[in-house]
Structure 1
């Protein structure tokens, strides 16, 4: 279980180190047993907030080699930002003093593929709720398609769109919440963007403003 009020920089260092262990297949044995569960009944002190995609191949606790109580994980297809998701990040930051928020996309993201299909080929989403996710990704993807051209290499276009979507979600968290803005300005909160590689297991932190 993590300590209280871990700084954003220390939290990021912990995530980097944990991911390195994961990539090298040198995972520790994080607190997962009965004693850890009992200890956490009284409360939690997660050292990082992770907004990530719901993809079953990207479990944050495993990717960062962390145990129960270490991460406050918010999962949604496409790692998009909507009011309830912003509220979840606000809750953890205000209640537990967590000072790092990581928005983590991943390679081969299905939500971004669906958005590219909608933007480039007019493919309709199969439901209103899925269309809502696509629409939240659309602006970022349209910017990439406009900049590099719709005829570009499919993998490169997907890669750039995934990163643009992460940056958009980061910007939304940085500038779309008065509470988070205040914590960034006055209390050391940081919002960082990252991409997880399904192929290598490595997390690339590429947006650390």
Structure 2
């Protein structure tokens, strides 16, 4: 399988990009890989890149977007930060990826048993991590159940995963609210912005499609 070219990118649609990721995740779950020569892809992309998707994911070592979606060099832009939230720098990167570099799909990828989410649930304090966790706290507050304080912490994995899901949704809302560029592109059908959750136990990705 060769790297994407300007021609293949030009025929890509948001729905087709999503299908590519779904098919890649199925291969990953079945321990299969597309037949690709990575060194050949290095040569193919030496003078330019034409990715079809942008994926915002956590820095968690188990959640490499290239691996879980079985993609090669030049296929996706991968943005990683603990807790997969956005700030102006990440929004700017997404705008570059979509408006200038031509990707058709933005995926906000959360995952189960997320350490950053657990830290936010426990209101952890540690250097600069304290400020990072503060950006995830709105997702904790937005999950209303359970109300009992003793169940609203990292020991309750169901609560942690619900907060992760909420964090994905709130991140997408922020993209819409804070990036007129991306919102307009989505309204025009040029791109799609969706959420997803990776299960660290199974390797499966569940997409949250409207």
- Residue 148 of structure 1 pairs with residue 146 of structure 2: yes
**SS where residue 4 of structure 1 aligns?**
helix
* Shift of residue 56, structure 1, vs aligned partner: 1.0
Matched-pair contact (CA < 8 Å) for 1:31–1:68: no
Instruction: Give the superposed CA RMSD.
Output: 1.4
For residue 16 of structure 1, what is the aligned residue in structure 2?
Answer: 22
- Residue 56 of structure 1 pairs with residue 61 of structure 2: yes
For residues 113 and 49 of structure 2, what CA distance do their matches in structure 1 show?
A: 33
For residue 26 of structure 1, what is the aligned residue in structure 2?
Answer: 32
For residues 169 and 30 of structure 1, what CA distance do their matches in structure 2 show?
A: 33
Aligned ranges for residues 87-166 of structure 1 at < 5 Å? 87-118=92-123, 123=124, 125-127=125-127, 129-144=128-143, 146-149=144-147, 150-152=149-151, 154-166=156-168
Q: Which digits, 9 at most, give the CA deviation of each residue in 1:26-53, with x for residues without a partner?
A: 22233412x2111201110101000000
- Relative to the length of structure 2, the TM-score reads 0.91
Q: Which digits, 9 at most, give the CA deviation of each residue in 1:40-93, with x for residues without a partner?
A: 011101010000001111111110011000010000010011110111110000
Q: Which runs of 5+ in 2 are unaligned?
A: none
For residues 15 and 126 of structure 1, what CA distance do their matches in structure 2 show?
A: 36
Aligned length: 200
**SS where residue 72 of structure 1 aligns?**
strand
- Relative to the length of structure 1, the TM-score reads 0.91
Instruction: Name whichever of 97-106 and 179-188 sits farther off.
Output: 179-188
Moved over 2 A (4+): 150-153
- Residue 69 of structure 1 pairs with residue 74 of structure 2: yes
1:188 to 171, 187, 190: 190
Q: Which digits, 9 at most, give the CA deviation of each residue in 1:146-190, with x for residues without a partner?
A: 343234480111110010001111111122101101101124311
